[in-house]
Amino acid sequence: MSTLLFSPDALTERLETLVPELTEARHDIHKHPELGFEETRTQAKIKAWLESLGYEPCVSAQTGLVADVRPDLGTPTLALRADIDCLPMHEHTDLPYRSVHDGKAHKCGHDGHTAVLMGVAKLLSEKRDALPANVRLLFQPAEEGVRGGGAKVMVAEGALEGVKEVYALHNWPGYPHGEVRVRAGTMMAATAEFEVTVTGVGGHGSQPQHCRDPIVAAAGIVSALQTVVSRGISSEGGAVVSVCQFHGGTANNVIPDEVRLSGTIRTFDPAVTEVVFDRIREVVRGSASTFGVQAQVEIHPDYPVLVNDAECTAAVERVATAIVGPDNVTSDELPMAGGEDFAYMAQAIPAAYFFVGTGNDELTSPVCHHPDFDFADSIIPLAVRMFMGLVEDRL
């Protein structure tokens, strides 16, 4: 049985005054971006907002916050999560609220996710007495590329203990504006990084016969790595192995001693992950011996596969269908090869993660992690509605 906290009309009216407030908060967070586990200003801002609404937030994962709407009603029925960290990159926009910290920018829209959950916090606080059960709000630090992300720390610190379900959303400019995309089962990839150090024998560029050229060997390794996926796993497997860095050499007439390669691995199934890891090690070892050089491989598993629970996914689909209509709720292009540390939360308890499309008509909006990206404020009302709808559906 669902509990209606706001009638659709009442929520529309309430959002008229709330959305400008959230947009202002979003711009302020955007202007002062903070990297994972350094989000002290962001944390203080959220804390002040929550305390002004009668919450008693607790610190979690150093720079994160956990806040219960009705702690007097015991363990929460559901939790909602927003990530709050920025990326280590430059902002190229001339927005009035552009980043004031060189080399740090909100280029994944976590500023928007934070503002949306702040909005939900406000709406829930206004209906506190009407809530039949507790709801937990998770403001999570360090989603971006920090090994063992903030979600893992929050889970380890017990932020989900006793909680029945957890939900999270992500804006996505590659999907049409106002579309909700979700699927049960595998939703996002497992991620891992690999590093290969190729050690040969350097020397004069004119005397290759006296060298063991690590550049040629490394080039051979890059080519051979292309077969890990294409020849190593079945058509259903699905995996990505990308060499993204290739470093070696200091001068045009010197064959170097060493070349370093590194890149990323994305998989959707633990069995496939093992095969991919094994094949990378074999291919590097074999290629190195062909070229008469030494090669060392290090593979660092990062986030696990994000698996959406069937019942939680059905709830997201139900809520989204009521808001945006059945034509705008799809599982197209999913699972996605991106990684998400929300996967740790989904390992701990039933969970669903969904995308809210923010793309323009031509779908040419800069994607997340692009220097020109900016969170689409126009999606704030839908994102708030989705979380409020889930609260109403699940209580």
Give contact residues for Zn ion (rule: CB under 5 A): 108
Comparison of 181 and 279: residue with beta carbon closer to Zn ion: 181
Q: In angstroms, what is the minimal distance from the CB of 35 to Zn ion?
A: 12
In the complex with Zn ion, the residue whose CB is nearer, 212 or 266, is 266
**Cβ distance to Zn ion smaller for residue 108 or 320:** 108
Rounded distance between C-alpha atoms, residue 394 and residue 106, angstroms: 31
Angle between helices 40-52 and 110-126 in degrees, nearest 10: 20
Give the CB-nearest residue to Zn ion: 108
Least Cβ distance, residue 272 to Zn ion (angstroms): 23
Which residue, 15 or 108, has its beta carbon nearer to Zn ion?
A: 108
Smallest gap from residue 87 Cβ to Zn ion (A): 6
Q: Residues of 373-385 as b/e, b for ≥16 C-beta within 10 angstroms?
A: bbbbbebbbbbbb
CB of 86 to Zn ion, least distance (A): 9
By beta-carbon proximity to Zn ion, the closer residue of 146 and 243 is: 146
CB of 99 to Zn ion, least distance (A): 15
Least spacing, CB of residue 11 vs Zn ion, in Å: 26
Q: How far is the CB of 170 from Zn ion (least distance, A)?
A: 6
Nearest-CA neighbor of 75 among 166, 123, 140, 136? 136
CA distance 119 to 124: 9
Pick from 71, 78, 98: nearest CA to 86:
98
CB closer to Zn ion out of 29 and 108: 108
Q: Residue 64 or 214: which CB sits closer to Zn ion?
A: 64
CB of residue 197 to Zn ion, shortest distance in Å: 28
Q: Which residues are CB-contacts of 326 (< 8 A; sequence separation ≥ 6)?
A: none
Which CB atom, from 108 or from 259, has the smaller least distance to Zn ion? 108
| Distance, CA of 180 to CA of 127 (rounded, Å) | 26
Report which of 236, 62, 244 is spatially closest to residue 153, judged by C-alpha positions.
62
